[in-house]
Amino acid sequence: MPDTAFNMKSYEEELKSFSWEISKKELGYKDGDLINIGWYCSDRICNMGKGEKLALIWESFKGEEKRYTFNDMRVLTNSIAVYLRKLGIKPGERVCLFMDKIPELYFGFLGGLKMGAIVQPLFSAFGSESLFTRLDDAQTTAIITQKKHLPKVRNILEQLPSLQYVIVVDDDGSKPLREKEYAFHMAQEERIEEFEIYPSKAETPSVLHYTSGTTGKPKGAQHVHYSLISQYITSKYVLDLKEDDIYWCTADPGWVTGTSYGIIGPWSNGMTQCVSEMGFMAESWYKFMERHKVTVWYSAPTAIRSLMKEGNEIVKKHDLSSLRHLASVGEPLNAEAVLWSQEVFGKMFHDTYWQTETGCIVVSNYPGMKIKPGSMGKPFPGIEATIVDLKTFLPLNKTGVVGMIALKPGWPSMIRSYWNNEVIYQGKFKNGWYLCGDRGSIDDDGYFWFVGRDDDVINTAGHLVGPFEIESALIEHPAVAESAAVGKPDPVNMEVVKAFITLKKGFEPSKDLELKIMNFVRKKLSALAMPQEVEFVETLPKTRSGKIMRRVLRAQEWGEEIGDISTLENDM
């Protein structure tokens, strides 16, 4: 008997009957209607009579707590929308959100969408150079930030002529603001009850998330308001969100999980979410979940492995009996982690697989479905997924054979393009399939298994880092002649960045230089992109045309076969 306690019927039944129309119907949306994510997440929930329901329970680093109802959120997002509009920001212009996980980040996201802006969330740990690359590419008009991140913006402001407004949400007047800088205090702004929401339609651009590829600069993944149709129903079915849940998504909205499932999905379902400003700390995380009686928890393998490392005793010290559903995303969830969660929480983490580009979960383990630890599960009903041959890009139609994970385009939340980069976007499609760029296989029961990435992108702690961006930063260091960045294995973060470097004449390898180079990258890019190890080498392996062969270095790190090296220019 299928377990009717879940939002989703049994997987098999759902496969037969599911259509995106179900989501549209529940959202009261018909093709051609106006659709604005900001409205759907706040006004609509209030119109449904849930204005007094808690939308956000927020805790600061210091443990200070703030609570906002859906009505508070509706009004505050209106205030932000009015503020942006009055400043002179026009629909379609890019508004970057560059903040820690504070309420202004969440409400700024919805407020920006309400006035028709394209919101561009960026991880607040980014250094000036990472920030510059993304603001320059998007020709961003405004950035909303905090005092502590202002110096990073000031560093690059002059080089960004399109950036006209730097909005500081916590300015205390202690130091004068400069030209183009504006103070905004959400709590002191006039509460705007009525706001004329921008009449966005299905294909109106909504969110611009930057994601890294192997070559070139990071690309802006262009989402549209229609993505809601996928994000709403996958939140309901995969995360099994229900009326009385207290939901916790540990992801930062600088990355797609933090927006699709940390803002849009849960709030369009009218859920209460809690958010903690703090980063990972086992004891604090358990306390947080105990204090707020978290019921549904969406996290990532690195966090789970970090918790595992802290042991089982610490779990027993906390009452986590409220937890009823656990899910994970971002990197391979190893079987040990799934089994451990069963042991300590009495529940298995449900692995979910998707990408910035897909906008929503595309392969997953569903509540009630048998979990095979280590497998990513099965395609979401309404999404056709397969494994294609690595050379011909045609479906393999064979089980147990490794190929590339591919999806049939057509679900609502697929990105519509990369910002100013249609050529690269089109290159992701072959024979009518969207190629995810990941290798995997399908077993006899239809379960998908992840094998690895098909490109050189480094996935560290669930965050994609592009080697090109790291190498570009490295060669700006005065001692570095050439560089190659690859992922090396790490027991907790899955992989971390390792840099291979040849030095310019006059520089000698040393521990001190290694640390200086590491720090150099950390400041320019972020701690994630910082190499955890620098190896100084005489030469780097290259193709005859002079291209550095990262895969040779990577294989070396992973103890794998190097494969075809016939095109190598120099001896290894």
Binding positions for ligand WTA, rule: CB under 6 A: 211, 255-257, 329-333, 351-356, 376, 436-438, 450, 453, 459, 464
Which residue, 124 or 356, has its beta carbon nearer to ligand WTA? 356
**Residue 158 and residue 192: Cα distance in Å, rounded?**
34
Report in angstroms how near the CB of residue 149 gets to ligand WTA at its nearest: 22
Closest distance to ligand WTA from the beta carbon of 300 (Å): 9
Q: How far apart are CA 372 and CA 387, in angstroms?
A: 19
Q: Of 378, 350, 362, 366, which is closest to residue 435 (Cα–Cα)?
A: 362
Residue 401 CB partners (closer than 8 Å, separation 6+): 387, 441
CB of 338 to ligand WTA, least distance (A): 11
Can you tell me the distance from the alpha carbon of 106 to that of 37, in angstroms, rounded to the nearest whole number? 13
| Cβ closest to ligand WTA, residue 98 vs residue 354 | 354
Say how far apart CA 95 and CA 565 lie, in whole Å: 46
- β-bridge partners, 403: 440
Measured from the CB of residue 440, what is the shortest distance to ligand WTA in angstroms? 8
Question: For residues 288 and 349, which CB has a smaller minimum distance to ligand WTA in the complex?
Answer: 349
Report, in Å, the least distance between residue 6 CB and ligand WTA: 20
Query: Cα separations (Å) of 274 from 4, 102, 387, 514?
Result: 27, 11, 37, 40
Q: How far is the CB of 105 from ligand WTA (least distance, A)?
A: 18
H/E element, 474:
helix 467-474
SS3 503: strand
- Residue 384 has phi, psi (to 5 degrees) of -95, 120
Q: Which is nearer to ligand WTA, 142 or 457 (CB)?
A: 457
CB of 330 to ligand WTA, least distance (A): 5
Task: Considering the complex, state which of residue 116 and residue 359 has its C-beta at the smaller distance from ligand WTA.
Answer: 359
Cα–Cα distance list, 293 to 247, 342, 458 (Å): 9, 19, 35
Looking at the Cβ atoms of 98 and 353, the one nearer to ligand WTA is 353
Give the other-Cβ count within 10 Å of 15's Cβ: 15
Measured at CB, which residue is nearest to ligand WTA? 356
In the complex with ligand WTA, which residue's Cβ is closer, 76 or 464? 464
CB nearer to ligand WTA: give 117 or 256.
Answer: 256
Shortest separation between residue 352's beta carbon and ligand WTA, angstroms: 6
Cβ within 8 Å of residue 392, ≥6 positions away? none
Closer to ligand WTA by CB, 269 or 460: give it.
460
Instruction: Return d(Cα 333, Cα 13) in angstroms, integer.
Output: 27
Spatial neighbors of 395 by CB under 8 A, at least 6 apart, are 386, 387, 388, 389, 406, 433
Q: How far is the CB of 399 from ligand WTA (least distance, A)?
A: 19
